[in-house]
Chain A
Amino acid sequence: MTDLRTEEFDINMGPHHPSTHGVCRLLLTMDGEKVVKVVPYIGYLHRAIEKICENRTYAMCIPILDRFEYVTAMSCNYVFSLAAERLSGIEVPERAEYLRVIMLELNRIASHLIFFGTTAMDIGALTPFLYALREREYIMDLFEMTCGQRLTYNYIRVGGVSKDIPEKFIPQCKVTISTITEKVEEYKRLLNKNPIWKMRTIGIGKLDADLAIAYGVSGPILRASGIDYDLRRDDPYSIYDRFDFNIPVYHNGDVFDRYMLRLDEIQESCKIVAQALEGIEEGPIRAKVSPNFKPAAGETYTRIENSRG
Chain B
Amino acid sequence: MLGYIKGLVELVKGLGITGKHLGKHAVTLQYPEEKDIMPERSRGVVVLLSDKEDGSLNCTACELCMRACPTAAIRIIAPRGEDKKKKLELFELDFSLCCYCGLCEEACNFSALKLTGKYEYSTGNKDDLLWDVNKLQDVGRDVDYVDKRKKKVKKVAPKPTETVDSKPKSDEIKTDKIETKPSATENKTDKIETTKPVDEKPKSEGEA
The answer to whether A154 has its CB under 8 Å from any CB of chain B is yes
The answer to whether A147 has its CB under 8 Å from any CB of chain B is yes
**Measured between C-beta atoms, what is the minimum distance from A83 to chain B in Å?**
15
| Contact present for A64 and B202 (CB under 8 Å) | no
| Contact present for B11 and A63 (CB under 8 Å) | no
**Chain B interface: which size bin?**
35 or more
| Contact present for B18 and A149 (CB under 8 Å) | no
Q: A194-B11, A195-B7 are contacts. A88–B101 as well, Cβ < 8 Å?
A: no
| Contact present for B41 and A147 (CB under 8 Å) | yes
Q: A60-B103, A290-B170 are contacts. A148–B41 as well, Cβ < 8 Å?
A: yes
| Contact present for B41 and A296 (CB under 8 Å) | no
| Contact present for B70 and A89 (CB under 8 Å) | no
**A134 to B26, alpha carbons, bound, how many Å?**
10
Checking B41, B43, B177, B202 against A89 with a beta-carbon cut-off of 8 angstroms, the contacting residue is B177
**A62 to B180, alpha carbons, bound, how many Å?**
26
| Contact present for B70 and A56 (CB under 8 Å) | yes
Instruction: Please give the residue numbers on chain A whose beta carbons come within 8 Å of chain B beta carbons, in ascending order.
Output: 56, 59-64, 66, 88-90, 127, 134, 137, 144-149, 152, 154, 162-163, 166, 186, 189-191, 193-196, 288-298
Extra A-B contacts (10), CB below 8 Å, given A64-B70, A298-B188: A59-B103, A88-B173, A88-B177, A145-B39, A148-B115, A152-B99, A190-B14, A193-B10, A288-B165, A290-B166
A residues in contact with B18, CB < 8 Å: 127, 190
The answer to whether B17 has its CB under 8 Å from any CB of chain A is yes
| Contact present for B202 and A291 (CB under 8 Å) | yes
**Measured between C-beta atoms, what is the minimum distance from B145 to chain A in Å?**
14
B residues in contact with A295, CB < 8 Å: 173
Binary A-proximity of B163-178 (CB < 8 A = 1, otherwise 0) = 0011001101100110
Instruction: Give chain B's interface secondary structure class.
Output: helix
A/B interface sample: 9 pairs, CB < 8 A: A63-B99, A144-B42, A148-B39, A196-B11, A288-B172, A289-B169, A292-B198, A292-B201, A293-B173
Q: Which 6 A-B pairs have the closest CB atoms?
A: A63-B101, A195-B7, A60-B70, A148-B43, A148-B41, A89-B176
Closest to A86 in B: B180
A residues in contact with B192, CB < 8 Å: 296
The answer to whether B100 has its CB under 8 Å from any CB of chain A is yes
**Measured between C-beta atoms, what is the minimum distance from A148 to chain B in Å?**
4
Checking B11, B100, B103 against A195 with a beta-carbon cut-off of 8 angstroms, the contacting residue is B11
The answer to whether B68 has its CB under 8 Å from any CB of chain A is yes
**A90 to B180, alpha carbons, bound, how many Å?**
11
**Measured between C-beta atoms, what is the minimum distance from B7 to chain A in Å?**
3
